[in-house]
Structure 1
Amino acid sequence: MFSTHSAYALVSVILCSSTYKYVEWKGGINEWGDGIRGLALSTAQYSLMQISEKSKDPKNWRPQLLILQSMPGSKELFDLRYLNLLNFASQLKAGKGLTIVVSLLRENPSNENDVKSAKLIKERMEKDMKERDLRGFAQILLYDEDQIISSSVNTLIQSSGIEKLRPNTLLLSLPTKQVEKEDEGSEYRSFTDKLLAGAVNEMALLVVKGITEFPKNDVTLTGGDLDVYCFVQDGGLCVLIAYLLKRSEVWNRCKTRIVAVARPQENSAKLKKQIKNYLDKLRIDAEILVTKLNDSELSINEANDDKTETKGPKKVQGTASSDERMKALDRKKANKRHEAIRLNKLILEHSRNSQLVLFPLPKPPLFEDEVDDYIHYLEVISDNLEKVVFVRGTGAEVITSKA
């Protein structure tokens, strides 16, 4: 028809398209009460329903961020760490994918003034995200003085997003050493609740140390190293985070270095070749260093501690049994401290002057009373390092050459 009567054909296409859009618009009015907005909502609903929650394909996995931040009760008192977390998220996401920023406010959700104040803070958050080209959603969670924040955070993580449009990565800032740990509403206690909730809900975890020292979006680093520490069977998530950061103008002039940490019995040349082949498949340009942990007694000591702890009650009864368990626990803590010191020494040897260090995040503890030792372990590992990102995946992430 276009070859014989192109004008009539063009008019027919325009009429058909107009009729189709008009029907969609009327449907939007009937379903949502607003034509233009209803059309967008209908399209979004249809797209979400087309993607099944059960059809999870981890290939080409990307971090979809959930940022949890405890905020002051005034929109004028915004924390620099919160703003720098937004900067870091923007550099990591490059304006793509899903980001949900949630501020936790200890206010009365039934108080009208507190609700109005929360709306003002949300408006400020949306403005901050827009200024940093961070596409996503801002939310406020109000909780009472008598509410337990851990329950609120758990509920929040479970209910964030819709179907497949859900965050899969929790981004947190490591609290400073000066924070009072005894206060139930302190940043330290809030951090532990968020960390445990994220781990329980099978989210990937990004814990940032020294967030106030991270560059803003208008800064371009002129050089330096972006060091990625990898252990055997790491999963490659640290490498992916480094790759995503390198796409940002802030970090793209930095040189990526992969520091592979091997045991003494492993073949360094073979390991280096395997890593190079892996990076070549991902088309990632990086220098590869292989270093070994000479202290091979670490894992043996930990294994012995576990055996002592389980066998102790069978051999000793009453108070003696309790004392034996305490001694075993103290030995295990001492071994972990020694391990953290060794790792810190290793990192400082290679990365003391690096722009950023990405390090695998150890598995979070299952119980709340173990969190203090866990955070101290992270502090010792990253001691004398300005900027560190601890990274932990869920094991479901698959990174391919289409990265």
Structure 2
Amino acid sequence: MLMLLPFLLKQHKVWRKCNIRIFTVAQLEDNSIQMKKDLATFLYHLRIEAEVEVVEMHDSDISAYTYERTLMMEQRSQMLRHMRLSKTERDREAQLVKDRNSMLRLTSIGSDEDEETETYQEKVQMTWTKDKYMAARGQKARTLEGMQDLLNMKPDQSNVRRMHTAVKLNEVIVNKSHEAKLVLLNMPGPPRNPAGDENYMEFLEVLTEGLERVLLVRGGGSEVITIYS
């Protein structure tokens, strides 16, 4: 898909004069020369004109920037979880908004003779019951506890490794293609657990940082391109 899409885009007059460059990542144990030769041969049989370049990604130490970026990401996710309302609280907030809107509609329908009543309604204040006080107190305690957790938390090592990969790939992409009019990337697979959505979006943000136009591509696993098609 990553090879076919730029080829199809070049058929349009907007992209016709653009050159296609295909980068493939090689590990330390891979044969970079053979990889480049095989990919160039494959493109030749597909009749796709493109420049092939193999980028070697060596294992490197995790930088302080990566560690800090991961920590900020996890702190943000935890803060969002603490800020989310429970189902009961959401229902209560929705009912308050509904009651307030109903009162405003009734007030606008009333005549000028109801001015004293309207004035009285505007002066009505919310009263604190014991239950409301205890609920607010408990919410404050949970907030303070959550803030303490944020200060003491350490980033998950799996997230640190993913962030390290995203940072290093971004450095290579920006170095090679910062002036490119369009960059096509293989989109990482989304998390199976919905709780990791915030972290997933942060990884994508880091991966595409500093690039003008990015198209993330992910196939369904059944796409096949052959030299006989």
**Which of 339, 353, 356 in structure 1 is aligned with 2:182?**
356
Cα deviation, residue 246, structure 1 = 1.0
Cα deviation, residue 368, structure 1 = 1.3
Task: Tell me the amino acid that sits aligned with residue 282 of structure 1.
Answer: L
Q: In the alignment, what sits opposite 1:278?
A: 42
Contact 1:259 1:291 in 2 (8 A): yes
- Equivalent residues in 2 for 1:4-403 (5 A)? 237-295=1-59, 330-401=156-227
State the distance in 1 between where 2:178 and 2:50 align. Answer: 18
Cα deviation, residue 297, structure 1 = 7.3
Does the C-alpha gap of structure 1 residues 388 and 272 become closer, same or farther in structure 2, counting only changes over 3 Å? same
Contact 1:263 1:296 in 2 (8 A): no
More helix by share: 2
RMSD: 2.2
Helix, strand or coil at the partner of 1:398 = coil
State the distance in 1 between where 2:60 and 2:220 align. Answer: 27
Cα deviation, residue 265, structure 1 = 1.1
List per-residue Cα deviations over 1:291-333 (Å, max 9, x = no partner).
Answer: 11112679xxxxxxxxxxxxxxxxxxxxxxxxxxxx8971211
State the distance in 1 between where 2:183 and 2:228 align. Answer: 25
Contact 1:344 1:380 in 2 (8 A): yes
Q: In the alignment, what sits opposite 1:229?
A: none
Cα deviation, residue 401, structure 1 = 2.9
State the distance in 2 between where 1:267 and 1:392 align. Answer: 26
Cα deviation, residue 390, structure 1 = 0.8
Helix, strand or coil at the partner of 1:238 = coil
State the distance in 1 between where 2:204 and 2:220 align. Answer: 19
Helix, strand or coil at the partner of 2:156 = helix
For structure 1, the 5+ residue unaligned runs are: 1-236, 299-326
Cα deviation, residue 355, structure 1 = 1.0
The number of equivalent residue pairs is 141
Task: Tell me the amino acid that sits aligned with residue 172 of structure 2.
Answer: L
Q: In the alignment, what sits opposite 2:89?
A: none
State the distance in 1 between where 2:7 and 2:52 align. Answer: 15
Q: In the alignment, what sits opposite 1:65?
A: none
Cα deviation, residue 290, structure 1 = 0.8
Task: Tell me the amino acid that sits aligned with residue 360 of structure 1.
Answer: N
Does the C-alpha gap of structure 1 residues 332 and 243 become closer, same or farther in structure 2, counting only changes over 3 Å? same
Q: Which has the larger radius of gyration?
A: 2
State the distance in 1 between where 2:50 and 2:160 align. Answer: 36
Task: Tell me the amino acid that sits aligned with residue 332 of structure 1.
Answer: S
Cα deviation, residue 400, structure 1 = 2.1
List per-residue Cα deviations over 1:225-277 (Å, max 9, x = no partner).
Answer: xxxxxxxxxxxx10011111111111111000011111011111100011011
Task: Tell me the amino acid that sits aligned with residue 331 of structure 1.
Answer: Q
Helix, strand or coil at the partner of 2:20 = strand
Structure 1 length-normalised TM = 0.33
List per-residue Cα deviations over 1:12-37 (Å, max 9, x = no partner).
Answer: xxxxxxxxxxxxxxxxxxxxxxxxxx
Task: Tell me the amino acid that sits aligned with residue 273 of structure 1.
Answer: K
Task: Tell me the amino acid that sits aligned with residue 216 of structure 2.
Answer: F
Does the C-alpha gap of structure 1 residues 328 and 274 become closer, same or farther in structure 2, counting only changes over 3 Å? farther
Cα deviation, residue 364, structure 1 = 0.8
State the distance in 2 between where 1:370 and 1:238 align. Answer: 26
